[in-house]
Structure 1
Amino acid sequence: MQPRRPVVMLGHAHDALPLSGMALFFLLGLRHGIEPDHIAAIDGLTLRAHDHHEAHAPWTGSLFALGHGLAIAVIAVAISLLAASFELPAALVQVVEWLPIVLLTLLGLWNLRALLAPGAYRPSSVRMKLIPAALRDRTDLWSTVAIGLLFALVIDTVAHVSAWSVFATHQGGWWAGALAGLLFSGGMLIASTADSQLISRVLRSAGSEAAASRLRRGIGWFVVILSFGVVIQAVAAKLGA
């Protein structure tokens, strides 16, 4: 006897997706916004925007999250519409589960090496290295949005968005998948905005280049510790599973 496929429930998303589910997707967005690679990217962009005296520097995180959230929303809606027949291959699931661990390990090592090297330090993001140099070296408003959008197209982000989009759609139809994407993007927007606003406030009150340099290094050590901490926790969880 063939197992029954999950029923895709049509109708209004809020009829089938409970409040707890909505809160979960919002919290997942907040968590996504404080992932080490996001922090490194937004902090690096914010610092560069301040160096170029860009008026939008305090809102760098918001602009980045706008592009990032737009890409996630499009992916969420597309996957939600295909959710009735969509299933990730088992081999791809295994790769996706380990890819964030590999990326975070590289992120920690990358920034640790830069911190220990002589000279000025700036937070470095693994995904930012995949962005065309002509784009990531710009500091204008629209380039920040574009970088955020491209940042979302790395395979682990696409696969994770696909997974929770399918889950939400099976709970309440494609509207639920779209709502999940919106809530996720909203949480990420709040976290990313808070990050660039905090960095901007500290930079304005630093009062000297030496103080700003100490801030950059402080961010770097935070990224390194957070990266390795998440890696250790993730590997321990997998080995204990």
Structure 2
Amino acid sequence: MQVMYSQTRRPPPALIAMIAALHLAGIALLVAGAAQGTLLFGLGGLAYLLGLRHAFDIDHIAVIDNVSRKLIDDERSPAFVGFAFSAGHSTVVFMLCLLVVLTAGALAGRLEGIAALGSVIGTVASATFLSVMAALNARLVWRLWQRYAGRAMHRGEAGLGHGMGSRLLGRTTAWIDRGWKMYPLGFVFGLGFDTATEVALLGLSAGAAQHAGWPPWTIMALPLLFAAGMTSLDSVNGWLMQRAYLWGTDSRRRLGFNLAITALSVAVAGIVATVEWTGLALDQLAPASGLAELIAHLPSAVLGSVVVASCLGLWFWARRRGRGAALSG
């Protein structure tokens, strides 16, 4: 595996080019609308910050980390996992903003109903997928533990091919064998409208300024900049997790790190799925309960940032220990 991934120390040029294209497109629309005043620049900056913030939402982190781990175990490159997932999510935002701009304020009164339906669809998709990924990667944690404990097993011996439940889980995610196939999953996740509505409201605010003569196409800089921000950080997260997982494959100490970081990803996926299922049930059965309010106001971006920081901190600590052991040896 190490030879197979020897060329992945740097992000693929195509990935960098696509992220740069989103930035350039958004900035170009802002510059083209510069004659309309500085308000559009302020809204553009806010949309970009919303994209950066949403990239740290814990459901994004859990999905990207767990799918990256699965693809590496399948000996596939996960380089485009973060970008494709984020691009699918951003497509929903772009389409909603486009509808808002084309219909001026006519869609404003219907956003609440659309968001409610989309929230159920997005939450069910997210919770289901994270539950499956947690179960799949939990099997991998067991296999890594067997190797770490000295009971080495051939690849696949403790894999997903035994038992009806294991085969069913494997088939559920078997279609994700390339990073770009995360795009449709990201699109479905985006139907939750957790931040799509925020950007749509930015579009409505900009639409209200059309009395100053703003062309509708300049307002589309907002979803483009939102996508640029979100795809940037999601891609960085995916690339860093790829580096971290691959680093932990060629010695017992690194295997211990791989075991720890994979177990952390599984735990996060399981917890997020549980919270989402619980929140969905409470929304239907007891929407005014204290627990429902607590789940609704969980700081998702903060929790996601903590997970990323924990993974990176564990990686840097393991690398430092490895270098120290090499020098002392």
**TM-score, L = length of structure 1:** 0.66
Residues 77-226 of structure 1: matches in 2 within 5 Å? 77-89=98-110, 92=113, 134=172, 137-171=175-209, 172-207=214-249, 208-220=254-266
Deviation at 1:233, TM superposition (A): 9.4
Aligned residue type for 1:202: A
Q: Which moved more, 1:162-171 or 1:37-46?
A: 162-171
The answer to whether the aligner puts 1:44 opposite 2:66 as a matched pair is: yes
Unpaired segments ≥5 residues, structure 2: 1-31, 143-170, 277-292, 300-329
Given that 2:79 and 2:179 are in contact with CA atoms closer than 8 Å, whether structure 1 keeps it comes out as: no
The answer to whether the aligner puts 1:54 opposite 2:76 as a matched pair is: yes
RMSD over equivalenced CA pairs, Å? 3.9
Deviation at 1:91, TM superposition (A): 6.1
* Structure-2 change in CA distance of 1:157 and 1:22 (3 Å): closer
Instruction: Indicate the percent of aligned positions where both proteins have the same amino acid.
Output: 19
Q: Distance in 2 between matches of 1:155 and 1:149?
A: 11
Q: Which moved more, 1:66-75 or 1:28-37?
A: 66-75
Deviation at 1:221, TM superposition (A): 5.5
Q: Distance in 1 between matches of 2:76 and 2:261?
A: 19
Aligned residue type for 1:32: H
Q: Which has the higher contact order (CA 8 A, sep 6+)?
A: 1
Partner in structure 2 of residue 76 of structure 1 = 97
Deviation at 1:216, TM superposition (A): 2.0
Residues 6-21 of structure 1: matches in 2 within 5 Å? 13-14=33-34, 15-16=36-37, 17-21=39-43
Aligned residue type for 1:205: W
Given that 1:169 and 1:176 are in contact with CA atoms closer than 8 Å, whether structure 2 keeps it comes out as: no
Give the structure with higher Rg (CA).
Answer: 2
Deviation at 1:203, TM superposition (A): 0.9
Deviation at 1:69, TM superposition (A): 2.3
Q: Give deviations 1:206-235, integer Å, cap 9, x for gaps.
A: 13554322102333556759x89xx85964
Q: Give deviations 1:116-155, integer Å, cap 9, x for gaps.
A: xx86569xxxxxxxxxx75675222442222222222224
Query: Between Structure 1 and Structure 2, how many residues are aligned?
Result: 203
Q: Distance in 2 between matches of 1:30 and 1:91?
A: 24
